[in-house]
């Protein structure tokens, strides 16, 4: 099934995995802000305590058509996003991910290799070499923009253009035009270079 044919059901619940400093919380927030612009009702919640740079952490995004009622951790996400593939063996990435759900992973490996290695079944799998893109465009392993691009390929709840606007505003608050531009380029490359395999989440 083509990605474009995905019939998206709302509300959608997303769990993000990454390490402190990789923009996990920012990615979750960017998705929420973009969804708000689309007239949807988002909620973005980081899940960390005393953790600092490098520590595995999570964030959650809920997007629906009504004001969110539930708060706290997302336990049964439809989408899991992994910003750092070194977490794959160390953190329970797949915990609670619903059958027929979506897994987005930042890895240079192919979808096939990932499916093989993790023994994945009944999922839509999306891989993108976000670290490669980030290293080339940003010079640092902050893979959130290309991962967001790949995410929107398989979970098109907001148009790419709206995400662009959101990135411009949010990153533009504290970063220079060059960095913002590089992130926009990274977003696009992530979207374009994402590999997708599996059956669509109905």
Backbone angles phi, psi at 201, to 5 degrees: -75, 125
Residue of 166, 186, 189, 196 interacting with another protein (CB under 8 A) = 166
CA-based Rg of the chain, rounded to a whole angstrom?
A: 15
Q: Is 37 in the site for another protein (CB under 8 A)?
A: yes
**In the stretch 111-150, what mask flags binding to another protein with x, by CB under 8 A?**
----------------------------------------
Using the contact rule CB under 8 A, the part of the chain among 16-24, 66-74, 97-105, 137-145 near another protein is 66-74
> Do the beta carbons of residue 97 and residue 105 sit within 8 Å?
no
The enclosing H or E element of 84 equals: none
33 binds another protein (CB under 8 A): yes
Alpha helices in 11-159 (DSSP H): 24-37, 111-118, 130-137, 144-154
Among 165, 179, 181, 193, binds another protein (CB under 8 A): 165
Angle at 174 between CA 31 and CA 177, to 5 degrees: 90
Nearer to another protein, 51 or 185 (CB): 51
The footprint of another protein on residues 69-98 (CB under 8 A) is 69-73, 75
* Closest to 78 in 3D by CA, of 190, 1, 155, 7: 155
Decide if residue 161 touches another protein (CB under 8 A). Answer: no
Residue 17: closest CA among 115, 111, 84, 73: 84
Among 39, 89, 99, 202, binds another protein (CB under 8 A): 39
- The answer to whether 82 and 56 have CB atoms below 8 angstroms apart is no
The secondary structure of residue 124, as a DSSP letter, is E
CB 147 within 8 A of CB 125: no
Mark the segment that binds another protein (CB under 8 A) among 14-22, 33-41, 87-95, 124-132: 33-41
In terms of CB distance, is 36 or 98 closer to another protein?
Answer: 36
Residue 43 sits in the site that holds another protein (CB under 8 A)? yes
- Entry field: residues in the chain: 202
- The DSSP bridge partners found for residue 46 are 59
Q: Of 33 and 129, which has the nearer Cβ to another protein? A: 33
Residue 18 near another protein by CB under 8 A: no
Which positions touch another protein (CB under 8 A)?
29, 32-33, 36-39, 41-46, 49-50, 67-73, 75, 165-166, 169, 173
């Amino acid at each position: 099934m083509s990605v474009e044919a995905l019939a998206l059901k709302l509300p959608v619940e997303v769990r993000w995995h990454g390490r402190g400093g990789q923009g996990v919380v920012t990615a979750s927030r960017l998705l929420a802000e973009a969804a708000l612009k689309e007239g949807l009702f988002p909620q973005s919640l980081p899940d960390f305590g005393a953790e600092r740079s490098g520590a595995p952490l999570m964030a959650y995004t809920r997007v629906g058509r009504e004001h969110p009622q539930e708060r706290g951790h997302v336990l049964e996400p439809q989408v899991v996003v992994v910003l750092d593939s070194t977490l794959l063996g160390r953190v329970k990435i797949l915990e609670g991910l619903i059958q027929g759900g979506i897994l987005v992973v930042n890895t240079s490996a192919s979808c096939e290799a990932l499916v093989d290695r993790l023994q994945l079944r009944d999922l839509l799998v999306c891989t993108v070499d976000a670290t490669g893109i980030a290293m080339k465009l940003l010079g640092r392993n902050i893979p959130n923009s290309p991962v967001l691009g790949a995410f929107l390929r398989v979970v098109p709840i907001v148009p790419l253009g709206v995400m662009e606007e959101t990135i411009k505003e949010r990153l533009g608050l504290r970063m220079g035009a060059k960095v913002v531009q590089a992130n926009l380029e990274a977003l696009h490359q992530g979207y374009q270079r994402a590999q997708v395999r599996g059956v669509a989440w109905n």
